[in-house]
A = this chain, B = another copy of it.
Amino acid sequence: MYGYEMNKKALQDRLRRIEGQVRGLQRMVEEDKYCIDILTQVTSVQAALRAVGMGLLDDHVRHCVRESIEQGSGEAKIEELMAAVGRIAGK
């Protein structure tokens, strides 16, 4: 079982809200809203996605990484974790 499964419902709710925000962006473009207002909304979807990413990472460390360290096989998990952090931090 992966870390996020405990919070699966909350995670799905967040993703559905993000999907709604992206549809909202399409509506703004359709209705010829002002560029800067659309941009502000893009920034807010980005923040919501980053929060999802940080939540997944947090669950991953608390479960998958911790468990494999406890079982003496943390090396590969730590490698993989740091690669993911590097991608999130924009390398």
What 1/0 mask marks residues of chain A from 17 to 48 whose CB sits below 8 Å from any chain B CB? Answer: 01100110110011010111011101101110
The CA-CA distance from A58 to B52 in the complex, in Å, is 22
User: Which B-chain residue is minimally distant from A24 (CB atoms)?
Assistant: B15
A15 with B26: in contact, given A3-B35, A39-B60 (CB under 8 Å)?
yes
Contact B78 A66 (CB under 8 A): yes
Q: How far is the CA of A72 from the CA of B8 in the complex (A)?
A: 27
Interface residues of A (CB under 8 A from B): 2-5, 8, 11-12, 15-16, 18-19, 22-23, 25-26, 29-30, 32, 34-36, 38-40, 42-43, 45-47, 49-50, 52-54, 56-62, 64, 66, 69-70, 74, 78, 80-82, 84-91
